[in-house]
Amino acid sequence: MLVREKAGKVSRIFRKAESENIQHHHHTKGQRNPKGLITKVRTNLKETCHRLLRDIPNIRIGIIAHGDFCDNHNYVIKIQDLTSDVQKLVDFAAGTPATGGGDTPECYELVLQKAQQLDWTEDSAKALVVIGDCEPHPPSYTDQKINWHDELNALKAMEVKVYGVYCNSGYLSRAEKFYEELAERTGGCLLKLANFSLITEMFLGVCYKEYNKEQFQAFTEELKQGGNLTKEKADLMKQLEVSKPADDNVNYLKKYNYDWWDFDGDHKNTPLYSYNAATDTWTTYSKTTSSIVSTVGKKDEKLKTPPHWAAMARKNKMMVNLDQKKDKIEWDNVKMTFEGTLPQTTIISIHRLQNKLVWKKYLTRKTELDNDYGKDGCNEISLFHGTTPDSLDNITDKNTTSRLDRGKKGRVLGKGTHFSVDASYSDSYAQPDDEDHKYMFLCKVLAGKPCPGKGNYTKPPQQFKDGPLYDSCVDIKKNPKVYCIFQDSQYYPEYLIEYV
């Protein structure tokens, strides 16, 4: 769930598994939201969570609190992962201080990205409640070029419903369309919160709605019988009754005529903030700390696309179906690497993935690691990643393999993306399609300086006290077979292998 106030924003997430997962997100700053919002969340949180655990078996709740990138001196974003431990949630809310920075836009694009990394359970109802009063930043605002359209599509692919809760009717009323889009694209609801005193009822209503219709109706009836169904609460319950399927209209980006909505004109050359991967912090942009901008717009020889790529003209991405005869050397190299540990298979096709933006981000991160550790300190290796047929479009278009194994299955070393030295290992995670064909990626991976992983890691630990983070996690320190990568820029899906 996400809630926003001058002192900070909060977001809540719910999850239902035969149960439910719900994430709550709230903003901890903002000119137009009083401190009473977070106070209200903190005051009722313990009672509300205990009630939900009583009424909804196996429900897990998480909180994302955020300010904005300008709050880097305090914090930009803080996360309590999905849990059924009420005291953890209460302690997190009590220990999350207010932030103070800007007003609009806010870092909702980062919230949508981070929400994908939570401990969502597979085969369960999943909901993200985003509460705010303004729009997200355009990609050019930071050196990470985060596009909220892409992040929302990734959540949709994970079957996370997003409830857009809009808390402003003043001069920022145009931003209502952002919250409407969150809901329409994912099958959630647009909720217009009349005042912050309705936070508890809103949160309970979303949870009960996601659990089942009967529970939601019983909650509404409870409000009526208790004489607590004010006009504002009745309006809120009526909004929650609206159920629409997710909108798959490919032209949705053109739906609203706002400069911040359509990124075709977003060509700002210099971002305002940089992400430092070594310390997991945001800082005011500078060429020395930026992991992207130092190379953007320059004729850097290292950022040229590989010489064996097909001509792309003005295209930014394409897939090339390798021909066994014409591309014999390349085909044979991939085939030999794949069949080295998975010989009892037949390769149907091999596609080369050509994505300029993802390649540049990868090379920039590679240069950064080499600068940190010396020549070849990036520790580049080729590894396999098994995938599912329904995830292929999302991966090949946006390099979103990090979203594939966020569930419990296969998350051995942390809540990142797992890769293996052996194709035979990754084969166990490659699900067949209707024709019994399986799919696996051969990826370039930057392992950097690795350390042993743990299933609950959301990022690698520090190398030493107050020092930089390790760059990846592994199953064993000597000759590891499995790697876990937490940053999308540290891998590049180079080939897609279709096989039986």
pLDDT exceeds cutoff 90 at 372: no
Tokens of 222: 């409870």
Q: Check which CATH number belongs to the domain holding 106 and give it.
A: 3.40.50.410
Among residues 256, 278, 301, which one ends one of the domains? Answer: 256
Q: Which residues lie across from 321 on neighbouring strands?
A: 351
Q: Which residue in 23, 47, 16 sits closest to 212, CA to CA?
A: 16
Tally of CB atoms within 10 A around 336? 9
pLDDT exceeds cutoff 90 at 334: yes
Q: Which of 15-24, 135-144, 173-182, 463-472 has the lowest mean pLDDT?
A: 15-24
User: Does residue 438 sit within a domain?
Assistant: yes
pLDDT exceeds cutoff 70 at 58: yes
Summarised one tens digit per residue, pLDDT across range 228-245 is 788 989 999 999 998 777
The mean pLDDT of the chain is 81
User: Does residue 86 sit within a domain?
Assistant: yes
User: Does residue 22 sit within a domain?
Assistant: no
491-499 and 438-446 strand pairing? antiparallel
User: Does residue 28 sit within a domain?
Assistant: no
User: Does residue 481 sit within a domain?
Assistant: yes
Q: Which of 232-246, 282-296, 304-318, 473-487 has the lowest mean pLDDT?
A: 282-296
Give the model's confidence band at 345: pLDDT under 50 very low, under 70 low, under 90 confident, else very high.
Answer: very high
The pLDDT value recorded for residue 177 is: 86
- Cα→Cα distances 434→50, 437, 500, Å: 43, 7, 12
Q: Check which CATH number belongs to the domain holding 372 and give it.
A: 3.90.228.10
Among residues 233, 256, 279, which one ends one of the domains? Answer: 256
pLDDT exceeds cutoff 50 at 2: no
Residues 249 and 109 in one domain: yes
User: Does residue 71 sit within a domain?
Assistant: yes
pTM over 0.75: no
Residues 323 and 224 in one domain: no
Question: CB-hemisphere CA count at 13 Å for 303?
Answer: 19
Residues 113 and 197 in one domain: yes
| Integer Cα distance of 24 and 264 in angstroms | 31
Helix axes 231-240, 213-225, angle to 10 degrees: 170
Summarised one tens digit per residue, pLDDT across range 311-326 is 887 677 889 999 999 9
Residues 144 and 217 in one domain: yes
- Cα→Cα distances 246→71, 121, 129, 152, 301, Å: 34, 20, 16, 12, 43
Give the model's confidence band at 53: pLDDT under 50 very low, under 70 low, under 90 confident, else very high.
Answer: very high
**Cis (ω within 30 of 0) for the bond into 432?**
no
Residues 42 and 188 in one domain: yes
More confident residue, 366 or 409: 366
The pLDDT value recorded for residue 11 is: 47
CA 214 to chain centroid:
32
User: How many structural domains are present in the chain?
Assistant: 2
User: Does residue 371 sit within a domain?
Assistant: yes
Residues 187 and 333 in one domain: no
Residues 252 and 333 in one domain: no
Residues 209 and 357 in one domain: no
The pLDDT value recorded for residue 300 is: 44
Among residues 256, 271, 304, which one ends one of the domains? Answer: 256
Percent of the chain with pLDDT over 90: 41
Residues 457 and 334 in one domain: yes
Residues 182 and 325 in one domain: no
Mean pLDDT on 396-411: 49
Residues 236 and 385 in one domain: no
Q: Which of 163-167, 377-381, 408-412, 457-461 has the lowest mean pLDDT?
A: 408-412
Residues 248 and 366 in one domain: no
User: Does residue 282 sit within a domain?
Assistant: no
- Domain containing 376: what range? 317-499
Summarised one tens digit per residue, pLDDT across range 122-146 is 778 899 999 988 889 888 888 888 8
